[in-house]
Structure 1
């Protein structure tokens, strides 16, 4: 079933949870690769959401550790999926930035998982680092999808056309760009 890209103006609420990102990703896609990336990213976002929810609700360490293990596997599979995307994706600057952010997220997941398994006093620090990188990584992914789906559209060559005020989506993208180190 083919979907049309979700208009950027349809982002009428702020993405406040990893689940919100997952729901947003299901709203549309431009082509098969884009749909697949949205699906894979939605699955990753849901895994992140589940792991953070368990951690925040004070579930037992075994359940959290198991969920973080599932998350690590999902992130690995997601990174492998990225390598199979077409050259149009790989040509985007944002693609490399997203891959780097995903590698950093995978490292943070591994550190959090290790802290959980060792019952380390550094578990809280590892969790906070993971959560920060999860938001950054998903933000980079949203930027990548936007650049792929909308960045190559026709530009206006009418002289004197004033640029419009940035949309919420564009302001969100700019905010995520500022988070990059």
Structure 2
């Protein structure tokens, strides 16, 4: 297994790890701002899930979920202001759909928490699943944008192909399932 894949597997084991990974990338200004916005969303997801898994009281979890919902709303608004180079990518539409589904799952989880519903566990599991899917879609979007807008040189063609961030995440997820 390549060293980069091994290190990726060791580091991306939580939503917070994804946030740190996003901050490490070198990119243009739009890409950097998207990474920052996505990193904030990932950290809010991490905080809410960590509280839920630690068995914190429902009011503390609910407060974090409310903050998460606000962050997701702000992130979606940020997306609308990105340039046309982003909006032309197929992955952009797929990411926006995934983000809308995640926002719906956050709202359902928040409502279940506020009502002390027996469905809270089901809502949380749905949220958790959609959070991973959404962040995966975001990584793919960033990778495709940076791949399409990156500089082309003879040197890059002479080097062996390097796995994209998305390909490394996919390999890591396959390894976890296997």
Q: Which blocks of at least 5 consecutive residues in structure 2 are unaligned?
A: 174-178
In structure 1, what is the equivalent of residue 79 of structure 2? 82
In structure 2, what is the equivalent of residue 34 of structure 1? 31
Aligned-partner Cα distance in 1 for 2:74–2:18: 19
Write out aligned runs for 1:151-166 (5 A): 151-153=148-150, 154=152, 164=161
Aligned-partner Cα distance in 2 for 1:113–1:13: 32
Specify which of 37, 42, 56 is matched with residue 59 of structure 1. 56
Q: CA deviation at 1:168?
A: 7.2
**Number of residue equivalences:** 165
Q: CA deviation at 1:16?
A: 1.2
The root-mean-square deviation of aligned C-alpha atoms, in Å, is: 2.5
Q: Which blocks of at least 5 consecutive residues in structure 1 are unaligned?
A: 1-8, 177-181
Aligned-partner Cα distance in 1 for 2:123–2:61: 13
Distance 1:32 1:166, change over 3 A: closer
Q: CA deviation at 1:81?
A: 0.3
Specify which of 105, 112, 115 is matched with residue 112 of structure 2. 115
Specify which of 2, 8, 12 is matched with residue 7 of structure 2. 12
Is the helix fraction higher in 1 or 2? 2
Q: TM-score, normalised by structure 1?
A: 0.82
